[in-house]
Structure formats: C-alpha cells, structure tokens
Structure 1
Amino acid sequence: METSSNEIIIAFLFGSLMLALVGAFMFVMVIFYQKRKIKSIEDRQRLIAQYEQAVLKAKVEIREETLKYVGQELHDNVGQLLSLIKLYLSRPDTKQKTDVKQLIDQAITDIRSLSHDLNINRVEQYSLSDFIAQELNKVHKTGIVKTAFDNEGHCEPVNVQSRVMISRIFQECINNIIKHAEAKHIFVKLAAEKGSCILSIADDGIGFETNTVQNGSGLVNMHDRMKLIGGDIQVVSSLGNGTNITLRIPQG
C-alpha cells in the first residue's frame, strides 16, 4: 500500500511538473509571439513612414524641377520674345505689324504652355505615359537631344503615390543623360509585361562603368525608391556603349 501511495504521489508530482513546464512554455511562447507581433507592427509602421517621406520628397523635387524649367523658359524664350516685341514697337513700321502679331501670339502660346506646366499636381492628374510624353517634349524643345517614345498599351503603377515616385526617377534619368551622357538620342519605352509595367530609358551617350558609380547617391536613391514601391531597377552601361535603365513597376 505504501509503495502504491508513493507511486501515486510521484505520478502526481510528475504530472504537476509537466503541467507547470507546459504552462511555462506556453507563457514564453505567448510573450515571444507578442514581441514578434509588436516588432512586425513597428517595422510596418516604419516602412509606411519611409514610403510617405519618400513620396513627399519626390513631390518636392518634382516641384523644384518644374519651377526651374519654368524660370528658364521665361528667361530664355518668353523674355526674348517680349524683348523683340519691345524693339519692334520702339520703331513703328506698318510692315512690321504682322511680325509683331506673330511674336505676341507665340508669347501667349508659350505662357499658356508654361501655365500648364506650373500645375504641380499634373503628375497626379495625368497617366504615367502622359507625364513621360510631356517631359520628353520639354527635352525635344531644347534641341539638345532627340527623343523617341514607344508606348505599348495601358500601363499604370498601382497608385498615385507610386506614379509620383516613378515620375521623379524618370526625371532623374533624363537629367543625368542631358548633364553627363553627351547623348544624341534618348529612347523610352513603356510596356506591360507579366503583370508589371516595364519602363526602359536608353541613350546613345558615352556610358560609364557601373561598378564605379554603383554606390553613387543618385543610383542608390533610385534603388531605394523602387524598393519602397515593390519594384526594381536595372542599370546596364559601359564606356562608349550608352546606358539602359529598366524599371519594373507593379501595375494597378
């Protein structure tokens, strides 16, 4: 009887110990799960904050780029037209009235175009393809480099914020070509492919060794912005062979 009682006590104690261990294990697992959940929420909130900050920064940069362009156009084109009109009017001649009228019409047209460009929210109001076409038209007007745009069907980022990011990256690519590539042509293609938008920006400029500038702030910034919207960017270039930048964009 005594042996049987001892076995019962041992079994009871062992069972109690196992229950305690299971309880402790469950408690630790709950704590661990809660910590992981909190960390996941914090990581998600941090990514959202980074995304919103990147979108805001891109908007500011687009605004600055637009104002810079408008200021230059006012100085170089509209200002020149008004100076010519003033010159003609200072020496009245009936034969010059037609010339003055044409200059005034051109000035009005240019100012209307600039007023359209000053709409800072146009990147949010127009499709990605429309924005690209407008930006390439600006470049074409300068006469510095020829442009070609191949737009294959409807292709649009998942939301307006992503479009802002892509639009700014596109502007950066074009500005870099104009400033550094010494290119004669820019070739842009926008096409849908396997649920994504593929935006390709190529030039026939001097190119560069990608391994020497891979960590440059401009490329790093582009990579970071593409990562935030769930896309990626590939840069292919070599000395003497131009540059091809391809963006793979999640499509809405």
Structure 2
Amino acid sequence: METSNIEVVLAVLFGSLILALIGVFMFVMVIVYQKRKIKNIREQQRLITQYEQAVLKAKVEMREETLKYVGQELHDNVGQVLSLIKLYLSQPEIQQKAAIRQLIDQAISDIRSLSQDLNINRVEQYSLSDFIEQELNKVHKAGLVKTSFESMGACEPLNMHDRLMISRIFQECINNILKHAEAKHIFVKLFTVDGTCMLSVVDDGVGFETTAAHLGSGLINIYDRVKLIGGDIEIHSGLGAGTEIKLRIPRLTFAEN
C-alpha cells in the first residue's frame, strides 16, 4: 500500500514537472514570437520610411531637373525669339509685321509648353510610355543625340509613387548617357515578357567596366530605387561596346493595358 502511494506521488510530481516544462516552453515561444513580430514590424516600418524618403528624393530631383531644363529653354529658345522680335521692332517696316507676328506666336507656344513642363505632377497625368517619349523628345530637340523609342504591350504602374520612381530611374539612365557615354544614339524599349514589364535603355557610347568599383553614384541610385520597388536590373557594358540597362518590374506592380 505504501509503495502504491509513493508511485502515485511520483507520478503526480512527474506530471507536474512535465506540465511545468511545457508551460516554460510555451512562455519562451511566446516571448520569441513577440520579439520576432516586433522585429518584423520595425523592419517593415524601416522599409516604408526608406521608400518614402526615396520617393521624396525622386520628387526633389525631378523638380530640379525640370527647372534646369526650363531655364535652358528660356535662354536658348524663348530668349532668342524675343531678341529677334526686339530687333524687328527697331526696324518697323511694313513687311516685317508678319514675321513679328509669327515670332510672337512661337514665343507663346514655347512658353505654354514650358508651363506644362514646370508641372511636377505631369508624371501622374501621362502614361509611363508618354512620359518616356516626352523625355526623349527633349533630348532629341536639344540636338545632343539621336533617340529611338519603341513601346510594345506596355504596362502602367498601379502605384503613382512607383511610376514616379520608374520615371526618375529612366531620367537617371538618360543623364548618365549624356554625361559620360559620348553616345550618338539612344534606343529605348518598353515591353512585356511573360507578364513582366521590361524597360531597356541602350546607347552606342564608350561603355565602362561594370564592376562595383566602377559604379558611379548615378548607377548606385538606380540600383537602390529598383530594389525599393521590388524590381530587378541588369547592366551590360564594356569599354568601347556601349551600354544596355534592362529593368524588370514585377507583374503585380502593373496593370495590363
């Protein structure tokens, strides 16, 4: 009888120990889960903050780029037209009235065009394809390089911030070409492959070494922005071989046209 009581006591103690261990294990698991949850929340907040900062930086850069372009156009085009009008007005022969009227119309048209360019929200007002075409037209109009653009089955970003980021990435690609490539032609394609949106920017310039040590701040900014929107980027280049930058954007980021 005494032996039976001891066995019962031992069984109770053993069961209590097992329950205690299970309780400790569950408590530790809850603590670990809460820590991981807090860590994930902080990481998500960090990524959101980083994305918002990148969007803000892209807006500032695009505004600066726009003001620079408008200033150049005012100096080169509108300023020249107004100077010609002033010259004609100093010699007011009857036959020059038609020329003056034509120059005034041209100045008005140029100023209207520039006022549209000053609108930083034009990224939201135009499709990605239209924005790219407008940017290339500016480059072509300036006589810097010849440009070619092809859009096939293009997609539009669902998120306006993503559209801004992609637009700024494209501008950065063009700026790098104009600054460093010494190119004569720029070829741009916007298309889809198996539901993935692709943006290809190719130039026939001097090229460069694609190792990390040779990447400038412009290309580093491009890499960072592509990563923030969940995309992927490939850069193919070599000395004397031109450069191709290929951007892939996940399908979920876009809406099919």
TM-score in terms of structure 2 length: 0.95
Task: Give the length in aligned residue pairs.
Answer: 252
- Aligned match of 1:97: 97
Tell me the amino acid that sits aligned with residue 91 of structure 2.
R
- Aligned match of 1:14: 14
Does the 8 A contact of 1:153 with 1:192 survive in 2?
A: yes
Does the 8 A contact of 1:157 with 1:249 survive in 2?
A: no
Matches within 5 A, 1:1-252: 1-211=1-211, 213-250=213-250, 251-252=254-255
- Deviation, 1:153, is 2.2
* Separation of aligned partners in 1, 2:228 and 2:158: 13
* Separation of aligned partners in 2, 1:171 and 1:68: 13
Matched residue SS, 2:199: strand
- Deviation, 1:43, is 0.8
* Separation of aligned partners in 2, 1:192 and 1:212: 29
- Deviation, 1:50, is 0.8
* Separation of aligned partners in 1, 2:148 and 2:35: 53
Report percent identity of matched pairs.
Answer: 73
* Separation of aligned partners in 1, 2:172 and 2:223: 12
Tell me the amino acid that sits aligned with residue 93 of structure 1.
E
* Separation of aligned partners in 1, 2:91 and 2:212: 59
* Separation of aligned partners in 2, 1:195 and 1:212: 30
* Separation of aligned partners in 2, 1:39 and 1:45: 10
- Deviation, 1:103, is 1.4
CA root-mean-square deviation: 1.2
* Separation of aligned partners in 2, 1:130 and 1:228: 23
- Deviation, 1:7, is 1.1
* Separation of aligned partners in 1, 2:186 and 2:99: 35
